[in-house]
């Protein structure tokens, strides 16, 4: 009974937040604010992606930004090919190629003339990369901290290669000066309501799809793997396959977020797949609550919001980084399950009180906290 009600509560919570998010454009018409909120939502999606693999399956992917960046580049490439290069002469190649003395469009840029291909690639490329890494890593039964280091190294290498190959990727500057994305007559400009809704709808869908996935058999097995990998293996499940599956799903979702990010930011940059943002994702996820999709998404929104306000204010101009670092340590030390766990704590207390009242006398009742899982 209790768990059913909890599930209902959770659904209600998810729905309430989604409705709030979808209602925002009714109150905010300013393009600048919509753009800012859309950016936060994209980070929410990204954080949700990490929650899938880290919170639910115990795979800490420190290279989560790799999928994000690759998705972002795929979108940028498609948009770049439709941009008239005004700085280097119309009718030519993308401007950065001209600057780098490239004379023909490289073969892997060719298919990006098609939006359909670009959209597929934005998800497909991150999934493919994740699959290859995952195949090597999970088959070898590497787990825990070591996965974190390897994914971090993977991120660094992809980042270095993109910066290095500036003839084809725009290098350090990234791919800038992009046209507006337009499909079926709808323009998705950085400041438009349509882009906000696109991000909001995708976040909503992913929240519920993610919830469904995690309550499916696959999801339950993944959570079991998180709690005790060996035991699940003894039950005869192919642990590596499950791990690689969620690793790839997570990368695909990150790729999707990356594509949205290009629309919101109007450029793609190697900093989108650099170490700082990748660690930031982990932080959002940890602050919000890694084992809750909603918590992770809200964590991203809250942390980036606070960070933005702190660094905007004159008082904290010098110290905002100090404050962020300290806040972060405090959360790790004292709220290992993130801010969302406050909800649990409150509910447990109330539950306990209710049970105690029902029993007629104050009594210590051991109501075990729901399996939101201890942090690992």
Partner 1 sequence: MNSIIPQISVGLSIASILLLIALGLAIIYGTMGVINLAHGDFVMLGAYTVWFLQKQFAMNLITTLPFVFAFVGAVGWLAERMLIRHLYQRPLDTILATWGLGVIMQQAVRLLAGAELRYVKMPDFLINPVHFFGYEDSAYRIFIFALAVALLIATYVLIYKTEFGLRMRAITQNRDVSRCFGINAGRVYALTFAYGAGLAGIAGALVSPLKSVAPDMGTGYVVDAFLVVVLGGVHSLLGTVASSYVIGQADAVLASWSDDTIAKAVVFLGVVVLIRLFPQGLFAMRVRRS
Partner 2 sequence: MSIDRRKFLKGTATAGVAAAAGFPHIWIKNASLAYAAGGEIKVGVLYSLTGTTAIIETSLNHATIMAIEEINAAGGINGMKVVPVIEDPASDPATFAEKARRLVVGEKCVSVFGSYTSASRKAVLPVFEKYHNLYWYPTLYEGRECSTNVMYTGAVPNQQQKDLIPWLVKNFGKKFYLIGSNYIYPKEENNVCKILLKQLGGEVVGEEYVPLGHSEFSAVINKFKETQPNVIFSTVVGDSVVALHRQYKAAGLDPKKMPMASLTTSEDEVAAMGGEFAAGHFTSAPYFMSYDSPENHKFVEAFKKRWGKDKTTNFVSEPAYFQVHLFKQAVAKLGKGSITPADVRKAAWGQEYKAPEGLVKIDPKNSHTYLWPKIGEWQTSGQAKIIEESKEWVEPLPYWAYPGQVCTPDGMVEKKG
Q: Shortest gap between Cβ of 95 and partner 2 (angstroms)?
A: 8
Q: Shortest gap between Cβ of 259 and partner 1 (angstroms)?
A: 25
Which secondary structure element, helix H or strand E, spans residue 71, and what is its range?
helix 64-81
Q: Shortest gap between Cβ of 305 and partner 2 (angstroms)?
A: 5
Residue 41 interacts with partner 1 (CB under 8 A): yes or no: no
Closest CA to 76 of 180, 200, 194, 188: 180
Helix axis angle for 193-215 and 2-27, nearest 10°, is 170
Q: How many CB atoms lie within 10 A of CB 178?
A: 23
DSSP 177: S
Distances (CA, A) of 338 to 117, 141, 302, 341: 38, 28, 12, 6
Tell me which of partner 2, partner 1, none is bound by residue 306, counting a contact when its beta carbon lies within the kind-specific cut-off of 5 to 8 angstroms. Answer: partner 2
Nearer to partner 1 by Cβ, of 14 and 55: the residue is 55
Provide long-range contacts, Cβ within 8 A and 24+ apart, for 211-214: 211/10, 211/11, 211/14, 211/293, 213/52, 213/249, 214/52, 214/56, 214/293
Nearer to partner 2 by Cβ, of 144 and 325: the residue is 325
- Answer for the pair 310, 316: CB distance below 8 angstroms, yes or no: yes
Q: Shortest gap between Cβ of 134 and partner 1 (angstroms)?
A: 11
Handedness of CA 188, 194, 198, 199 (dihedral sign): positive
Residues numbered 125-144 forming contacts with partner 1, rule: CB under 8 A: 133, 135-137, 139-144
Residue 152 interacts with partner 1 (CB under 8 A): yes or no: yes
3-class SS of residue 36: helix
Binding region for partner 2 (CB under 8 A): 5, 9, 12-13, 16, 20, 28, 30-33, 35-37, 39, 86-90, 96, 99-101, 160, 163-164, 166, 171-174, 176-178, 190-191, 265-267, 269, 271-272, 276, 302, 305-306, 308-309, 311-314, 317-318, 320-321, 346
Q: Shortest gap between Cβ of 273 and partner 1 (angstroms)?
A: 14
| Candidates 20-28, 75-83, 160-168, 238-246; binding stretch for partner 1 (CB under 8 A) | 160-168
Residue 164 interacts with partner 1 (CB under 8 A): yes or no: yes
- Answer for the pair 221, 231: CB distance below 8 angstroms, yes or no: no
Helix axis angle for 193-215 and 293-312, nearest 10°, is 140
Nearer to partner 2 by Cβ, of 143 and 180: the residue is 180
Point out which residues bind partner 1 (CB under 8 A). Answer: 60, 62, 133, 135-137, 139-146, 148-150, 152-154, 156-157, 160-161, 163-164, 275, 279, 282-283, 286, 318-319, 321-322, 324-326, 328-329, 332-333, 336, 375-376
């Amino acid at each position: 009974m209790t768990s059913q009600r909890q599930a209902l509560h959770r659904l209600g919570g998810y729905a309430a937040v989604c409705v709030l998010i979808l209602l925002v454009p009714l109150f905010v018409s300013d393009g600048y604010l919509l753009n800012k909120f859309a950016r936060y939502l994209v980070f929410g999606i990204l954080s949700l992606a990490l929650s899938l693999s880290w919170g639910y399956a115990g795979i800490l992917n420190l290279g989560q930004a790799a999928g994000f960046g690759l998705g972002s580049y795929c979108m940028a490439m498609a948009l770049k090919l439709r941009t008239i290069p005004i700085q280097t002469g119309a009718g030519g190649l993308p401007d950065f190629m001209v600057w780098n003395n490239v004379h023909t469009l490289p073969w892997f840029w060719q298919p990006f003339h098609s939006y359909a291909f670009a959209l597929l690639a934005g998800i497909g490329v991150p999934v493919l990369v994740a699959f290859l890494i995952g195949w090597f890593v999970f088959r070898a039964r590497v787990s825990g901290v070591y996965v974190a280091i390897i994914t971090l190294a993977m991120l660094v290498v992809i980042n270095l290669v993109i910066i290095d190959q500036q003839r084809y990727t725009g290098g350090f500057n990234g791919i800038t000066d992009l046209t507006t994305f337009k499909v079926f007559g709808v323009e998705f400009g950085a400041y438009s309501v349509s882009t906000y809704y696109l991000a909001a709808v995708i976040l909503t869908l992913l929240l519920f799809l993610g919830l469904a996935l995690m309550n499916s058999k696959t999801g339950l097995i993944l959570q079991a793997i998180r709690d005790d990998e060996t035991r699940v293996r003894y039950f005869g499940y192919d642990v590596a396959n499950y791990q690689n599956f969620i690793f790839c799903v997570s990368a695909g979702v990150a790729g999707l977020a990356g594509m949205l990010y290009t629309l919101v930011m109007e450029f793609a940059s190697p900093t989108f797949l650099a170490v700082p943002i990748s660690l930031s994702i982990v932080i959002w996820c940890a602050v919000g609550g890694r084992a809750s999709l909603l918590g992770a998404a809200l964590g991203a929104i809250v942390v980036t919001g606070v960070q933005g306000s702190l660094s905007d204010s004159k008082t904290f101009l010098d110290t905002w980084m100090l404050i962020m670092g300290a806040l972060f340590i405090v959360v790790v030390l004292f709220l290992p399950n993130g801010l969302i766990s406050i909800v649990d704590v409150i509910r447990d207390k109330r539950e306990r009180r209710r049970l105690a009242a029902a029993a007629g006398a104050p009594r210590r009742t051991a109501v075990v906290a729901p399996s939101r899982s201890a942090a690992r």
